[in-house]
Amino acid sequence: MTENNISSEQQYRAEISILNQEIRRLTDELEKKEPDSGHKITNKFDPFDNPTDYKYFNGDYSKIEPRIEESGFSLPLEPEYEERRKLRKFYSIGGSCMMFHYFFIEAIGYLAVTLILYLFSLFSPNTSQESIYSYMRGSSIIVGVNMLIYLIGNLTFSAIGMKRAGIRKTSLIRTNDFSFSSAVQYCLIGFFLWYISYYISMGVSDIFSQYGWSVTTSNTGGIAQTTLGYIIMLTYDCIIAPITEEIFFRGMILRTFSKANQRFAIFASAFFFGMTHGNVPQFILAFILGIFLAHITLKHGSVIPSVIVHIFINSVSSAISETASLNLNIQFFVNMVCVTVAIMGLIFLFIFKSSNRIPSTTPQQASRGYRVACGSWAFVGAAGLMIFDMLYNIITKNI
C-alpha cells in the first residue's frame, strides 16, 4: 500500500469522526432546547397509562377524545366539555337500556298474563280468576312466559345498546388467555362467593325479620309443579338466563360503562345486576358474584368465562335446593361437599387475587367515572328506578 493511500484513508476516517461529533452535538442541543418534544403519542387504547387496567377492553379512546393522537397531548385532570359529553353518552346508553329493559319486562309480563287470564276466562267463565292464575303458576305457563320475555328482553336491549355504543358482537366471544384449568378455578371461586353470599344474605334477612320486616319479596311457591314446567324452569335458570344475562350485563352494560374507568364499570354493572333480582338477599348474592364475573370478563375480553361460571353456579344451586327434601344423612353429605368445594374456591380466590386485582383508578379516571355518570339522566334514572322498585316491593309486602 502506497503512502498516498494511507494518507487518504486517515483523512477519510478523520472526516467521519468529525461528522459524528457534529451530529452528537446538534442532537444534544436539540434535546436541551426541546426537552418535552419527544413526539410521544398517547396510546389510544390506554390513554390513562394505568398499568392495572386491562388494555384494549375499553376500545379506541380517540373516538371520545381525538386529540390524544396529537404529539405531546395529555388528558387534563378534569374532562373538557366535549369529552365529558361523549363519555356521558355511553353512560346514558347503558342507563337507558337498563330502564327500557325494566319497563319491557314489567309491561309485557303484565300484558301476557292478563291476556292469558282473559282467554282462559272465555273458555271457563265459571272459574274464578284466582283459580286460573293458580293453575297457570302450577303448570308450565307462567315459567314459559317468563322465559320468553326475559330471553327477548335481554337479547333485544343488548343488541340495541351494542349498536348505539358501536360494540361489535364478535368482541363478546373473542377470548384471550383462557383455558380449561382457568374455567375450573373460576367455577370453584364462583361457588365460594355464592356460598358465602348465601349466608350473608340469610343473616341480613334474619336481622330484618327480628324487627318484623321481610326483605324477600319474590314468591316462588307453587310455581312449575308439572314435569314440563319444571323442565322449562331448569332450562331457563341453568342455560338461558346465564347466557342472556351475561350478554346484557357483562357484554353490553360493562363495556359501555368502562370507556374511561374500569373499576367504576365493574361495580356499576354489578349493582344493576343485583338490583334486577328484586329483593335484598338476591341483590347481595348477585352483586358479589357480579363483581367477580365482571372482573374475569375484563381479564379475558369476552363473556365466555362469565357464562361458564354463571351456568355452573345456577346449576349447582338448583341441584342443592333439590336436596332440601331428602333425608338428613344425604343433606349432611351435601353440606360437607359444599364446605370442601367452598374452601377450595377460597384458596383459588387468593391465588387469583395475588396476580389479578380489580383495576385501580387514577385521578384522571376518577373524574371520568361516577362524576360524569351522575350527569347522565338515564344512568341516574335507571339507578333510582331500580332502588325505588325494590323499596316499594318491600314496603308494600310488609304493610
Considering its fold, how many domains does the chain have in total?
1
| pTM, 2 dp | 0.87
Q: With a cut of 70, which residues of the chain have pLDDT below it? A: 1-24, 26-42, 217-221
Task: Tell me the backbone φ, ψ of residue 111, rounded to 5 degrees.
Answer: -65, -40
Residues 152-176 have pLDDT tens digits of 999 999 999 999 999 999 989 999 9
Could you tell me which of 87, 53, 302 has the C-alpha nearest to residue 174? 302
Half-sphere exposure of 270 (CA within 13 A, CB side): 21
Residue 4: inside a domain, yes or no? no
Residue 98: inside a domain, yes or no? yes
Residue 12: inside a domain, yes or no? no
**pLDDT of res. 34:** 47
**pLDDT of res. 37:** 44
Residues 76-105 have pLDDT tens digits of 999 999 999 999 999 999 999 999 999 999
**pLDDT of res. 38:** 46
What range defines the domain where residue 115 resides? Answer: 89-167+177-215+224-398
Residue 46: inside a domain, yes or no? no
Burial class (CB in 10 A: 0-12, 13-18, 19+), 198: middle
Residue 311: inside a domain, yes or no? yes
**pLDDT of res. 326:** 76
Residue 83: inside a domain, yes or no? no
Residue 76: inside a domain, yes or no? no
For residue 27, give the C-alpha cell.
442532537
| 156: Cβ contacts below 8 Å, ≥ 6 apart | 104
Residue 78: inside a domain, yes or no? no
